[in-house]
A and B are shown apart, each in its own frame.
Chain A
Amino acid sequence: MDALDQLVAQVQALSGSEQDVAHLSSLLKQADELLRTHALRLPFSLSSLHPTKHSLGYLYLLEAQSSGTLTREQSDSFLALASSFLTVCAPEQIRLAPDKFNSVCRRLRDQAMHLHEPMRAILPLQCAIRKLQPSSEYLTAIHADYLQMCLLSKCYKASLSILEDDIFEIDQKKTSLVPRDFLLYCYYGGMIYIGLKKFSKALEFFQHAITAPTTALNAITIAAFGKYVLVSLIQNGQVPPFPKYTPAVVLRNLKSCVQDYLDLANLYASRNIAEVKRCITQHEEVFKNQDNNLGLAKQVIASLYKRNIQRLTQTYLTLSLQDIANTVQLDDEKDAELHILQMIKDGDIFAAINQKDGMVSFQEDPEQYNTCDMTQRLNNEIHHIVCLAKKLTWVDEQVSCDHAYLSKIGRDRPRYDEDFDLVPQKIYTNI
């Protein structure tokens, strides 16, 4: 029998119990070369295998089949095969070969982009993520590809279920993840949240990208930082200082790469709309062509208007529309009225417009916090935080017992604690 047919027979035979599958996976690893040489015959072999029962074998064959360049119908058929495979494969089997699985998903994404049909890849990739993850708290390499597809096809809502899972675990052995995937995940996640107008969550994601531990500055980090500046101007009106855990490399070098954004942030602080507009047109080339951030920059201007109006609520109880237009440097009353109406609808301010005499009276937040819904909400939040606190203490303990930490502490201690006997450093460093 031909080597390939032998292999196929083995796949069919050994896909039963767990030990068989483990044995099969080692066999398949060795058979990689073999599969590549017989790439043309693979489609026939594939049809004799069942994607759910023989997931592992199917995976290897599929991967080998798609390794070369494909013609148009080939990529179409590959797309169809891969999509159906990803939706029905058996999770336990594919978890034994995460790197192959990742490369199949990557090929799927490439082919979908090649055919300009990113939407076809969304459902298969979502199933793939769920199958590869041991639990919903794990990050996989497929997350980044999936988010990219959602972005390209503008299906933001579809990605929400994946984005809203809090990630706590990163395990390279189980998911064969590289740091680049993590950075891409944060970057694309932030962009999707911008699309959904949830700016605070977008800020969180971009901050993760900036503060990820690294030893060299990454282009993704720089791009994320640009967007971070713009989104934080829109959301908070200022750019916060770097948190404690930002890696030193980022701290030193980032500012020099993003000078335009920093200028914009400085001018924003002056609250002068004409200046900000001028700055944006000045750097339009950078914003538009280099980073595709012109839309965001325009939103920055809109947010500046909003912020100026909000500041008025702190000074005045009532104000006429004409005065508002003048103070905020809007063109005329109608404009001011539109702006204020929009803000009331969004819940940014609480006010009432008296159209007869053109006066706007600013009011307090009517929330009294005396409803059962509020109790319910507070209760849920408290539970959430208590769970998070438990996780944090667990991670804290893990780090306290970590070898690197103990060795650094062991070295520092004799200098600062004279009461203690000399810490036996040998114990810590010879583990």
Chain B
Amino acid sequence: MGEMEQLRKEADALKDQITAARKAVQDTTLEEAAAGVAVVGRVQMKTRKTLRGHLAKIYAMHWATDSKLCVSASQDGKLIVWDSITTNKVNAIPLKSSWVMTCAYAPSGNLVACGGLDNMCSIYNLKGKDGNVKVMRELAAHTGYLSCCRFISDTEIITSSGDCTCILWDIETGTQKTSFAGHQGDCMSLAVSPDFSYFISGACDFTAKLWDIRDGNCRQTFAGHESDINAIGFFPNGQAVITGSDDATCKLYDLRADQELITYQDSSIMCGVTSLAPSLSGRLILAGYDDFNVNIWDSLKAERVGALAGHDNRVSCIGVSADGMACCTGSWDSFLKIWN
């Protein structure tokens, strides 16, 4: 037997053992355990605001930590910072490349970032001295499109890319600090843990990976989806991960049990999940789909408890504000809507 074959056999044997170990702790399912929990009942939300101004598909949006401002990126080549209460545009930032795919708001509120087919992450300073918003840094090192970016602070940002890697950058020097390699397919999305020590990435190799930000290692890998994972997020307690995929399902994985807890699916949902966000308590999961709707799931019972229908095209991004008061959806129909 060739050496490679032997090694592969060893790897497979280990995988089997891991599967067995995971099975061994399956003394119940989340659904069973939650059987006694009171049902949520129908959740109905209305559109409270519509943010108009983009001229083309919106690909991404992100709330600021003050729960009032948010930033959105559209293929019309603009990054717009909105005061979502008044629906006024606080900033309309023209981009060098219109093929933008992601945007992020720094927790401090001072910076925003975006990136796309230009393979770069551009950082903009919103609080510049003269009041103009300018490019502060252009972080270039990825060899593939920038699919997602999230700030850790004003000095660090993590990006995920179509080149199958994620990178932690030092914004001040504009250099790479750590590269997170391991995925076998385009990284589509990432999310940072509430304590900022870990982040998770979802990729087109159908898996999600948990990474230690400081030492750069992959701590855990979660498989189970049958197609690209487009969206990923942490459960608010930071101990579980929610993923959304092109296989039309969302899944909840627990970090401590090291496996999938439950799947959110329905026979009448055929289209892929593009984006997701949990409510403040985690009891509800809002997921945006290619079929123009957002479905609201009871996270413990895996039942659909509501839907947001209001967009005329694919829902491409969704976010729940930090105080949990409202959720914002962005769509290919060029509008953002605030719901609750």
Binding between chains A and B: no
Give A contacts to B, CB under 8 Å: none
Give B contacts to A, CB under 8 Å: none
